[in-house]
Amino acid sequence: MENFTQQPTNNVDEQFLSKWSWGGFLMAPIWAIASRQVALGLAIFVLSFIPFVGFAAMIYFGVKGRNFAWEKSEWESFEVFKQRQKLLDKVGIISTIVIVVLTLIFIAMGMVLLSGF
């Protein structure tokens, strides 16, 4: 039985770990859970209802998220970790675009209905 308490350091791309994490920034609680930090994700969700705490978490996980997730979780390999982080970045960006577009559509619909069209 292998002991995974220490992450293997071979083939680790330090430059990738230091890059901005769009997934961590745009959807911090979901990103944390998907990065195998369930308790942290739930804590971020609850604390995000306190003014400025949610925004601070977004900034922190945007800057340090990848490094944090690599150090605090067990991964089969760095490639598996890297694929997961890239997927979470894409999901964060796409979901944010969808939410913004839907919000603009609903605002436009509301304006049309309020204008008596």
Nearest of 16, 1, 3, 2 to residue 70 by alpha carbon: 16
Q: How sure is the predictor about 73, in pLDDT bands with cuts at 50, 70 and 90?
A: confident
Domain ranges in the chain? 14-114
Angle at CA 69, nearest 5°, toward 64 and 74? Answer: 160
Residues with Cβ < 8 Å from 84, sequence gap 6 or more?
34, 35, 75
pLDDT tens string 15-53 = 999 999 999 999 999 999 988 889 988 999 999 899 898
Nearest of 56, 82, 86 to residue 70 by alpha carbon: 82
Whole-prediction pTM value? Answer: 0.78
Give the C-alpha separation, 14 to 83, whole Å. Answer: 15
Can you list the alpha helix ranges (DSSP code H) found in the chain? 14-17, 22-26, 28-34, 38-47, 53-72, 78-114
* Alpha-carbon torsion, ordered 68, 70, 72, 77, to 10 deg: 170
Please report the pLDDT score of residue 117 as a whole number: 66
